[in-house]
Amino acid sequence: MEPFRLIIDGKRVPTKQCFEVLNPATEKVAGLAPLAEASHLEDAIRTAKVAFKAWRDETERKRQTACRKIAQKIEDHAEELAQLLTAEQGKPLNGLGSRWEIGGAVAWTQYTASLSLPMKVLQDNNEGRVELHRKPIGVVGSILPWNFPVLIAIWHIIPAVLSGNTVVVKPSPYTPLTTLRLIELMNEVLPRGVVNCVTGDDGLGPIMTSHSDIGKIVFTGSCATGKKIYACGAETMKRMTLELGGNDAGIVLPDVDPKQIAEGLFWGAFINTGQTCAAMKRLYVHDDVYEDVCEELVKFARKMPVGNGTDEDAILGPVQNLRQFEIVSALVADAAPKGRVLMGGDVPRHSTRKSGYFYPPTIIADLDNGDRLVDEEQFGPALPIIRYREIEDAIEKANDNPNGLGGSVWGRDINEAKRVASKMECGSVWINKHGMIQPNAPFGGVKQSGIGVEFGQEGLEEYTDTQVVFS
């Protein structure tokens, strides 16, 4: 098996050692990733710093054109990337799986390439002229998670490149292969050193976050890791965009048609097998429709085939890694005796189960705040359902969490749904859907779910420093 290579200064760079990347559906080796040493990371940062001097001076139009060419490269290699993504991440090729993720990467790149950072005139009168300029920060360090390794790489890299920065990317050690290939393709378009990729263990992260030559860190991942990054970057006063964990609440109002919302509820909770920061992690349902919503949701969920991602019929895949599988298993095991298991929840131990980190879609009713599956982010295919009688009580319980990434309200009366939405403490709220992010709408969390926003004009501006010129 030919190992992958680091991408530094536009070149494929070998390493002394490699590490195995497992296919979570089979637990067999999907590929060999290069195990970078600290010296490789230093080379990548130095290369990006040198490349920045020329890249920042390129015209915005040239950078936009480069981003469009990247979109075309991804599209031209879409099936190759999707197959590789399924092999290492586990998600199915079809449905909202690998092919969808690669298509999303193309669309996101195309949209971001259309954005601009024009100079703004704040004042121009007999007292003088005041201009606001957006200037690139320098070298951006991107630290990626394992749930959407291609799409989130695009979210980090494209706005950085478009705004004139250079980038050093560190993928998750669980899913480095597709990102390496993605960045190799980018380097067929971009000047050498603009985007570099270094893979290895988690020891590379602290070097990046404390490095004096990295001006900004963008990270998507857990709250615990985000806090460490935030603290580590304080010494050098790094700019930060941190999109951290969520424990998104959905609130179902009493006027819903349970049959109508069942599909939306399912995908809000179980997209990517529940391994999504902005997935719905807990569901509050009014007493009047509680049993009917439970019944219709379970009825829809039972139709969803779970299997190896290479099976064209599979809609849901495995949990991506053993550690996460065990987290989900422990939370469900804690919740099952306290609630009513409507489906799933019965998983054999590692010593007796078949290969693959397959966890059945699990729905547990009659839980409440204070239960671990409600309070903690499961990041997997398990949904707790909580009964409520007064809407203000549901709002209070939805907000009673340190996270605040997303939330949703489900109801026929849109004005009432919006009223409830306005009281939810989260960065995004959806009405009669959940988690449907889009490239023109800023996305980010409140409370402990992160700092800054991604996407759209506001997200692009986060990759710049402001300079005000008085004349």
| Catalytic machinery residues | 243, 277
Q: Which two tokens stand for residue 303?
A: 């139709």
Q: Which two tokens stand for residue 104?
A: 């999303």
Alpha helix ranges (H) inside 192-321: 204-210, 223-232, 258-270, 290-301
How far is CA 172 from each of CA 88, 199, 219, 237, 310, rounded to the nearest angstrom? 11, 8, 11, 24, 22
Q: Which two tokens stand for residue 136?
A: 């690139």
Nearest to 243 by CA among 462, 463, 464, 453: 453
**Which secondary structure element, helix H or strand E, spans residue 457, and what is its range?**
helix 456-461
Nearest to 440 by CA among 60, 159, 111: 111
Beta-ladder partners of 388: 286
Q: Is 317 left (phi over 0), alpha (psi -120 to 50) or beta?
A: beta
CB-CB contact of 291 with 393 (8 Å): no
Q: Which two tokens stand for residue 334?
A: 């804690």
What letter would DSSP give residue 356?
Answer: S
Strand 382-388 relative to strand 362-365: parallel, antiparallel, unpaired?
parallel
Sheet architecture: strand order including 6-8: 11-13, 6-8, 195-197, 166-170, 139-143, 216-220, 239-243, 450-451
Rounded to whole angstroms, how far apart are CA atoms 339 and 283?
Answer: 14
Nearest to 219 by CA among 462, 63, 450: 450
Alpha helix ranges (H) inside 351-429: 372-375, 391-399, 414-422
- The 3-state DSSP class for residue 150 equals coil
Q: Using alpha carbons only, how large is the chain's radius of gyration in Å?
A: 23
What letter would DSSP give residue 234?
Answer: G
Rounded to whole angstroms, how far apart are CA atoms 375 and 247?
Answer: 8
Longest dimension (CA), the chain: 81
